[in-house]
A and B are shown apart, each in its own frame.
Chain A
Amino acid sequence: AQKITQTQPGMFVQEKEAVTLDCTYDTSDPSYGLFWYKQPSSGEMIFLIYQGSYDQQNATEGRYSLNFQKARKSANLVISASQLGDSAMYFCAMREMPSGSRLTFGEGTQLTVNP
């Protein structure tokens, strides 16, 4: 079974608008961490935002926020005021304690920001 599911292979958004990228996860571990990374065409994985399973508030980092719904096991990334430079592949990832500290990634969502 997929541990991280990203159901949107591709998303399009107009510049300056907000966009939500979906991520659902599957774990029985009470302690876990959720991450979002951005991967431009150059290939480097750029860390965006982190949410711990025990965090009471949704994480925010500048224009990025994470809509964490623990009961639904979802951790959607919200990008506000999209910029052309936001066009990239976005990956959701999870760290579980029993797996050590490895990250398990979803298949990604390709975001295109249109001018």
Chain B
Amino acid sequence: DTGVSQDPRHKITKRGQNVTFRCDPISEHNRLYWYRQTLGQGPEFLTYFQNEAQLEKSRLLSDRFSAERPKGSFSTLEIQRTEQGDSAMYLCASRLASGDKETQYFGPGTRLLVL
């Protein structure tokens, strides 16, 4: 039983560069979530998908951010023209749409540092 995986685990980039993160959910999970966590804070919701449809986006998700889940399996989160304020842990989670407890299971996260 494999859990949620994320790649890369760490990313260092220069301001202005584009970065892309990947998330592979638990195989039978049809809902996939992205959260952002800054130092000393709890995770904050960014967006979520049910299958390939993006159903909700937070106001935190500026125009520089885009997320996709083209085949309803893995998802990518792209940040264009990165800024130092984008430095954070990006967490992906998945769950079944109608599963018991509706529990979201998280991946190990991608730590982004923008220099």
5 additional contacts (CB under 8 A) given A50-B103, A103-B33: A47-B105, A95-B102, A101-B31, A107-B41, A107-B42
Chain B residues with CB under 8 Å of A50's CB are: 101, 103
Q: How many residues of B contact A (CB 8 A)?
A: 27
> With A100-B56, A102-B45 in contact, is A37–B106 under 8 Å at CB?
yes
Partner of B109, one of A44, A52, A100, A108: A44
Asked whether B13 is an interface residue with its Cβ less than 8 Å from the other chain, the reply is no
Which residues 26-68 in B have Cβ within 8 Å of A in the complex? 31, 33, 35, 40-45, 48, 55-56, 58
Asked whether A93 is an interface residue with its Cβ less than 8 Å from the other chain, the reply is yes
Alpha-carbon separation in the docked complex, A46 to B90 (Å): 15
- Mark each residue of chain A from 74 to 111: 1 if its CB lies under 8 Å from any CB of chain B, else 0: 00000000000000000101010000111111111000
Contact A42 B108 (CB under 8 A): yes
Contact B105 A105 (CB under 8 A): no
Return the chain A residue nearest B100 by Cβ. A50
Alpha-carbon separation in the docked complex, A103 to B95 (Å): 12
Q: Number of residue pairs across A and B with beta carbons under 8 Å? A: 62
- Mark each residue of chain B from 91 to 104: 1 if its CB lies under 8 Å from any CB of chain A, else 0: 10101000001111
Return the chain A residue nearest B110 by Cβ. A43
State which size class the interface on A falls in: 20 to 34
A-B contact pairs, 19 of them (CB 8 A): A33-B102, A35-B103, A35-B104, A43-B89, A44-B109, A45-B91, A45-B106, A45-B109, A47-B104, A47-B105, A91-B42, A100-B55, A101-B48, A101-B95, A101-B102, A102-B56, A102-B58, A103-B35, A103-B43
Return the chain A residue nearest B58 by Cβ. A102
Interface majority SS (helix, strand, loop, mixed), chain B: strand
Q: Which residues of B contact A (CB under 8 A)?
A: 31, 33, 35, 40-45, 48, 55-56, 58, 89, 91, 93, 95, 101-109, 111
Alpha-carbon separation in the docked complex, A47 to B4 (Å): 13
Return the chain B residue nearest A6 by Cβ. B42
Chain B residues with CB under 8 Å of A52's CB are: 101
Nearest Cβ distance between residue B81 and chain A, in whole angstroms? Answer: 25
